[in-house]
Structure 1
Amino acid sequence: MINKKTYEITSCDDVELNIKRESKLEFKLWFDDAKEVKALVFINQGLGTDCNDPYLDFVARDLIKNLDIAIVGVNYHCIGNRPQTGSSFYLDDIDKLILSESCKAINLELPLEVKDINNYEKMSEVFHFVNQNLARRKFEGKLNPNYFLNLHVSLQPSKNEYQNFGIMQAQDLINALLFIKANPPFKISGGGDLAIIMIGTSHGGYLSHLAAKIAPWLIDGVIDNSSGAKFPWRVVGFGKEIDFMQYAEFSTFDFFHHINTHCSTKTFWTSNKEAKNFFSPARRKIRNILEEDHLIIQSKYANTKYVSYFSVKDQYLSLEEKRILYKEFRDLNFDACLYEISEKDIDHKFIKDLNHGMGIPTKLLIKKELPTLLDKILLDNKKDFKEKSISYPSEDLIYTFSEENNRISLKIIKK
């Protein structure tokens, strides 16, 4: 019988920003209690979805029927940073400044002081007022019919979280993994060690690669669709400090027809070099998968096998960086395969188009790649690395990730 269990555990604090975490880590585990399990497979959700998604439940149950695996879905730190996963809108000081100056520029007096917009209801009232005023001016011929106002709002993630980006999220994946390994509710095939495979699309694929970077002795395989080799720093949330129209996480006309609403997630990182929470080159480097000196260090544990799909026309991320990454993997003796998808590969079933993600269904991707990858992993026999720690020099800092007491810990020291 297929079981689904939900767990809440203590995971990690924010070592980089020295913030004690308030929230528990939630994850779900699917398994068949009549089977011996050979592999623990993580399906890592991307932006806009979480492990409460009914499609994930459907995929997990369908795969477990035919494969001797257990499946994990993790609501990692800040996964709730989109409206559909529980975030809410608010205006921070920068958003209020943008609103004030933008309205002054078109001689629009707001119905209340910007400093008094301290909740969603007031924010919504003001934005509706602005939108209606713009519509009226267009009707009266005072504004060009194609005119719109650019404004910015912030997203408050669920659980009162914030965007750390990458590091805490990958630690969450590893901590869920180590908890299950220490407390398996199923029988492990042959009484040996489980094969561990991380799977994801876009941000979920990026986190799969990052988990393998910070704990390479644990991760045996990665199946990826359309993740970046280097992360786009605008998704960390502070891009509006530089140019809110160019570096917001996303923008939309869905809320107001005459306002292009630019949105970014709440973060404590900043572009201010004088601030203690400056997102320095060291912070960027540790989050990149494509860093040659880091890959050389990771290759000492070169047991992770990689399979990735990437569109030659991806509109968001760099194919060239992904090519370089997978060449580096192969040069360092990783088993790594990158499929560059072009027009000839579109079959409207597996590959639907050449946009980011290519419309590849998660279930079909797993069915196509998982059996072969799992066979390779099981044939190689899982290595038991005595040293379960890895250190990455990153500009002026050294990041050290260690497995201790069934959790992954992070220590950062200055060089």
Structure 2
Amino acid sequence: MQINRIYEIDSCDDVELDIKRESKLEFKLWYDDEKKPEALVFITPGLGGDADNNYREHLAQTIASDLNVAVVSVNYHCIGNRPQTGSTFYLDEIDKLILDATTQAAGIKLPYGVDKIQNYDQMSEIFHFINQALIKGKKEGKFRLDYFLNLHVSLQPAKNEYQNFGIMQAQDLINVALYLKKNAPFDTMGGGIPVIMIGSSHGGYLSHLAAKIAPWLINGVIDNSSYAKFLWKLVGFGKEIDFIQYSEFSTFDFFQHIKVFCSNKTFWTSNSSSPYFFSPARRMIRNILEPSHLQIQTTYPKPYYVSYHSFYDRRIAPPEDKIELYDIFQKYHFDAKLYMIKEQSQIDGKFIKSLDHGMGMSIKTLIKKELPIMLEKIKNNPKKEYKNKSISYPCEDLLYNFTQKEDKIFLEIKGNK
């Protein structure tokens, strides 16, 4: 019989920004109590549709039923960062500056100063006022009929979280794997049960990042359309530079005459004098495609990798980066295969539905296609116990050290001389 359990555990604090975590880490586990699972399979959602709970539940149930594995789904830090997953809109100080400057330039006088906007209702009231002013102005000939105003709003993720981007999220995946190896309600082969990470887009990126942080723990990664380098648009503070170019997404859904650009709440900043400066070192540790780091990984047990990617994915996950990453994997003798989808003939309408980012891919089909192959490889070449459960990555002026102890992964950051 298939069993579904929900867990809450302590995970990691934000070591980089010295912020203590307020929330527990929640995850779900599916398994058949009449079988002995061959692996812990993490299906890690990205942003948007695949973070939907109903979709995740159905997918996990299907895989746990059809294959002899236990399936894990983790609500990693800041997963609730879209309206459909629990985030709410607000205006921070930069948003208010943008609002003030933009409306003044358009000749729209607000009923009160932007400093008076303290909550969602006031924000909504102001935006409705602006939209009506634009409608009236178009009727009076003050604006072209196709004119619209560009404004920016921030997203407050669920659980009062914020966008750390990558590091805490990957630590969450690793901490769940370590917890289950010790505490799962089934035989974990003395803690030696294989761990396989699967994900699309940001979920695939986190799967690769978890393997970078704990290569001795992760046996394999199955990926669709992840980015090989951190994505500026998703870090949250791009609006400090250009809120139109570096916002996470934009929409006309709320107001017909206002294009609303949206980014997550974050403490990272482009201000080099701030302790929260997103420095080159912070970027470097988040890159999967970091040649010097990949060379360090070669001295550890090598996970298996398989990835699918559209050759035309220019806006979110440049294919050149992915090709270079997998070329380096091959150079260092990783068992890593990249399927670069280039031709219309490869669109079958079932597995691959487009050449856009994500390719409209059926993740269920991806898993059923690639997971049995990876399980067979792991079975034929089991990962031996690796005593050195610590890895260090030099990043410009900082040294990031990840260590597994007491069934958790810990991060320590020191100066790199």
- Say whether the fold is shared (TM-score over 0.5): yes
After the TM superposition, list the runs of 4 or more consecutive aligned residues in structure 1 that deviate by more than 4 angstroms: 49-52
In the superposition, relative to structure 1, how do residues 53 and 355 fare at CA in structure 2: closer, same or farther (>3 Å)?
Answer: same
Residue 213 (structure 2) aligns with? 214
In structure 2, distance between residues paired with 1:66 and 1:321: 34
TM-superposed deviation, 1:140: 2.3
In structure 2, distance between residues paired with 1:50 and 1:233: 21
Q: How does 1:137-148 map to 2 (within 5 A)?
A: 137-148=137-148
TM-superposed deviation, 1:50: 6.9
Are the counterparts in 2 of residues 49 and 85 from structure 1 also a CA contact under 8 Å?
no
Residue 300 (structure 1) aligns with? 299
Deviations 1:129-157 (A, max 9, x none): 10111012112222101100000000000
In structure 2, distance between residues paired with 1:302 and 1:382: 7
Residue 205 (structure 1) aligns with? 204
How many pairs were matched up? 414
Residue 22 (structure 1) aligns with? 22
Are the counterparts in 1 of residues 31 and 70 from structure 2 also a CA contact under 8 Å?
yes
In structure 1, distance between residues paired with 2:109 and 2:235: 33
Letter in 2 for 1:322: K
TM-superposed deviation, 1:191: 5.6
TM-superposed deviation, 1:92: 0.5
Letter in 2 for 1:18: D
Deviates more, 1:51-60 or 1:275-284: 51-60
TM-superposed deviation, 1:56: 1.5
Q: How does 1:218-257 map to 2 (within 5 A)?
A: 218-257=217-256
Secondary structure of 2:399 counterpart: strand
In structure 2, distance between residues paired with 1:275 and 1:326: 36
Secondary structure of 1:125 counterpart: helix
Residue 348 (structure 1) aligns with? 349
TM-superposed deviation, 1:344: 2.2
TM-superposed deviation, 1:187: 2.6
Residue 125 (structure 1) aligns with? 125
Deviations 1:269-315 (A, max 9, x none): 00011111100000000000000000011111242000000001114
Residue 305 of structure 2 is aligned to residue 274 of structure 1: no
In structure 2, distance between residues paired with 1:147 and 1:201: 36
Letter in 2 for 1:246: Q
Q: Which runs of 5+ in 1 are unaligned?
A: none
In structure 2, distance between residues paired with 1:176 and 1:250: 30
Are the counterparts in 2 of residues 50 and 85 from structure 1 also a CA contact under 8 Å?
no
Q: What's the C-alpha RMSD, in Å, of the aligned pairs?
A: 1.1
Aligned-residue identity in percent? 62
Secondary structure of 1:187 counterpart: coil
TM-superposed deviation, 1:51: 6.1
Letter in 1 for 2:231: P
TM-superposed deviation, 1:49: 5.1
In structure 1, distance between residues paired with 2:42 and 2:289: 22
TM-superposed deviation, 1:62: 1.4
Are the counterparts in 1 of residues 95 and 152 from structure 2 also a CA contact under 8 Å?
yes
In structure 1, distance between residues paired with 2:55 and 2:105: 46
Letter in 2 for 1:215: A
Residue 151 (structure 1) aligns with? 151
Deviations 1:34-71 (A, max 9, x none): 10011000000001257661122111111222211000
The TM-score normalised by the length of structure 1 is: 0.98
In structure 1, distance between residues paired with 2:108 and 2:209: 47
In structure 1, distance between residues paired with 2:74 and 2:153: 27
In structure 2, distance between residues paired with 1:89 and 1:214: 33
In structure 2, distance between residues paired with 1:44 and 1:24: 18
In structure 2, distance between residues paired with 1:158 and 1:55: 19
TM-superposed deviation, 1:192: 6.6
Residue 86 (structure 2) aligns with? 86
Residue 311 of structure 2 is aligned to residue 312 of structure 1: yes
In the superposition, relative to structure 1, how do residues 50 and 66 fare at CA in structure 2: closer, same or farther (>3 Å)?
Answer: closer
